[in-house]
Amino acid sequence: MATGGVSPTLNAFDSGDTRTVTIIMDGTQTVRRLTPLECERLQGFPDNWTEGQADSHRYKQMGNAVAVPVVEWIIAGIAQME
């Protein structure tokens, strides 16, 4: 939970076949995996965009995707230069 307008820290690490996201909140460390919905939101896709597939496929698709907001920002910058 964000306190004082500051978001908690997200640390991701890959240990072989294990991918874990660490969320540090209020000085304690809680380890959990992001949900497919959270991954879709982080990448800028609509909620449940990849619904109806195995979660492993959903994670792979979101991991291989390009973040929509980043692409929109780059294109807007190019458009301003033209």
Position 45 pLDDT exceeds 80: yes
**38 against 3, higher pLDDT:** 38
In this prediction, residue 11 has a pLDDT band, given cuts at 50, 70 and 90, of low
- Name the phi and psi angles at 72, rounded to 5: -60, -40
Enter the pTM of the model.
0.62
Position 2 pLDDT exceeds 60: no
Separation between Cα atoms, residue 54 and residue 43, nearest integer Å? 18
Position 32 pLDDT exceeds 90: no
Q: Rounded mean pLDDT of 13-25? A: 61
- What's the confidence (pLDDT) of residue 35? 87
Burial of 17 (0-12, 13-18, 19+ CB in 10 A): exposed
